[in-house]
Every structure is written in C-alpha cells, then in structure tokens.
Amino acid sequence: MQSRILGQGAQSLKVSAVGLGCMGFTQSYPPYPTREEVIRTLRQAVALGVTFFDTAEVYSYGLNEELVGEALQPVRDQVVIATKFGYDLSETPDLDSSSRPVKLSSRPETIRRAVDGSLRRLRTDHIDLYFQHRVDPQVAIEEVAQTVSELIKAGKVLYWGLSEAAAATVRRAHAVCPLTAVQSEYSLWYRRPEEELLPTLRELGIGFVPFSPLGKAILTGRFNADSKFDKNDFRPVIPRFQGENFRHNLQLVDYITKLAQNKNTTPARIAIGWLLAQAPWIVPIPGSKRIERIAENIGGADISFSSLELQGIRAFIDKLAILGERYPASQEALTNK
C-alpha cells in the first residue's frame, strides 16, 4: 500500500493512501456483521496495508469505537485512528441504541468528556487524529480550537481536524491551533469542495479526507433504476437516490463503468483513483463491511490516468448535472458552516 501525508511540518501525519471508514459496520448500511466478523475484517484490512481507520463517538453511540478499539488493540502502534467529537452523549447511556437523538455540542466540557470516553472505548492512551464532527454554531470555532490545543498539550490528542466545515471556518480554526486535515464528502458524485475548500486547504497545507468517495456505493455500479434498499438503509431518504433524480444520476455510473471496462478494472477503483489524482494530500476513506470490497477499494491507489483521460473525465462531469441534494434538508443544514 502506498502512503500519503496529511498536513505539513509539525502537523504532518503519514497514513495509507486509502483508509477505511468504519461507520457502516454498525449503522446506516444494514445488515450488520457480528462483532467477531467486524474484528476479523478490520485485522485483515491491516494485513492488506490499511493504516488509517476512521470512526466517531456518535456512531451507534460508542459501539463503533468499541469494535475498532478491540480490533486494532494488538496493532495499535501500526495504525492511525481518527475519531470525532461534537455531540452531547451525556443523555444516551444505552450504547446499543441507535435511534435516540443526540444534540450537537462542542462546548469545552463536552469535548473533554468526549475525548475520555473515546480513549476508553478505543483502548488507547491517545487519539491520532481528532475531528470536530460538525461545526457547532453555538460555540466559536476559536474556543473549540483552544480546547483541542489543550488536549494536544496533555497528550490525549496528537493532531486534529474539522469535518464538513466551510473554508472561512477552517481558516479561523487553523489560526488558533493548526489543522492536519479536513474531512468532507467529495467524489465524482459530489464536488462542491472544489469551489472554495480545496483551494483553501492547498494554500494552508492542510490534508483532505473525503468520505463517501464512492457516493454511498452508487459509483461501484451495484445499483440500477430497479434496485431496492433495506427498510433500515438511509439511502432512500436522500434526494439523489429518489425517483427521476436517481434515474438521471445513473448516467454517471454508466460512464464510470465504461471507463473501468476500458482500463480493465472496476468502477470503484476508477472513482477512488480519480480522487487520488486530484492532489497528493487527498486520502479517501471508503467504507465497506467485507474484506473483498476493502481489497477492491484500496486497489484504487494503483490506478493511474493520463492527462488526456483526466481532461475527458472532467469534461463529462462538468457537463452532467447531478440532481437532488446529498442529504435530507435537516442534515444538509449542518454542513459547510
């Protein structure tokens, strides 16, 4: 597995060129594997060369972190674990519940409580990369940055980042406590970060970690206009996956599938390879519950494109408008703050 560097100078962090998003092991994409299957898959991913694992406190209210911590404990010194704060779980003691609502909160006391809980569940004495999960409009980002800087001085956190933050917010946070990475959705399916965020990260020397690099699996070619989703799958509530929007958007999937056939590879590898070709400081974190798919996804690091191929892809995606928002309105309101 190739490696890449997130951040610059004292904020630089070496990780595998493709990481693993762990959310799907316990939420949003049923059916879920057993605890034993999750642990086995995560350890197999390490054996394949994955060194970068992303989870969050709020994923299944701590259960996701517990599984990641148990699986990676034997290889803790070989991997980079990223997790996230930004919600108040003080009123959600039942960690096996996945339906109880949680409140957005990045108050200093909430962050300090969150980091201790994450350290315990992850079975470690430090968090390698600590993201604010969503910007809290009730707490100045400077106050958040100052709180995290204290955690860094205490050795509980090594590096930090923001998730789904606007460029202006990134600048303000970085001025107080330098950021190593920003995490946001980015793919052939969703390219809004290209407008302001990516130029800002390039200027400031901050790495970028795209989540949903496969467009919530649409870019793998698994789905067609007749596909049915599990009743607990959250994709059907996403406007991009609904009705005429979905049928229109499948044009992108058809295009990527043809590219993959021409290069004797898979659509997933085309999608991930394209992301990696955008900048050397981009590290996607596709999620999968199956080791076969993880192996396929990390193979995207071996895909190369000529300048003419990249120009052709850019011409196509610039011409094709993707219809529908990427989240329901209630969730979209929490992004790009």
> CB of 23 within 8 A of CB of 287?
yes
Please choose, from the candidates 190, 183, 146, the residue with its C-alpha nearest in 3D space to the C-alpha of residue 55: 183
Does domain 3-217+279-302 fall into CATH 3.20.20.100? yes
Determine if the peptide bond prior to 31 is cis (ω within 30°). Answer: yes
Please choose, from the candidates 182, 62, 181, the residue with its C-alpha nearest in 3D space to the C-alpha of residue 116: 62
> CB of 122 within 8 A of CB of 81?
yes
Q: How far is CA 119 from CA 70, 166, 190, 242, 281, in A?
A: 12, 28, 33, 39, 27
Q: Given this model, what pLDDT does residue 332 score? A: 59
For the chain, the domains span 3-217+279-302
Would you please indicate which residues are annotated as catalytic (active-site) residues?
59
> CB of 42 within 8 A of CB of 73?
no
Residues of the chain with pLDDT under 50: 95-98
Measured in whole angstroms, the distance separating CA 136 from the mean position of its chain's CA atoms is 19
Q: Given this model, what pLDDT does residue 95 score? A: 45
Q: Judging by DSSP bridges, how do beta strands 207-211 and 181-185 pair with one another?
A: parallel
Residues 6+ apart with CB under 8 A from 101: none
Catalogue the E-assigned strands of the chain.
3-6, 13-16, 20-21, 52-54, 80-85, 87-88, 103-104, 127-132, 157-163, 181-185, 207-211
Q: Given this model, what pLDDT does residue 170 score? A: 98
pLDDT digits (tens, 9 = 90+) for 127-147: 999 999 999 999 999 999 999
Q: Cα Rg for the chain, rounded, in angstroms?
A: 19
pLDDT digits (tens, 9 = 90+) for 85-113: 999 988 655 544 445 568 999 999 999 99
Rounded CA separation 3/178 (Å): 22
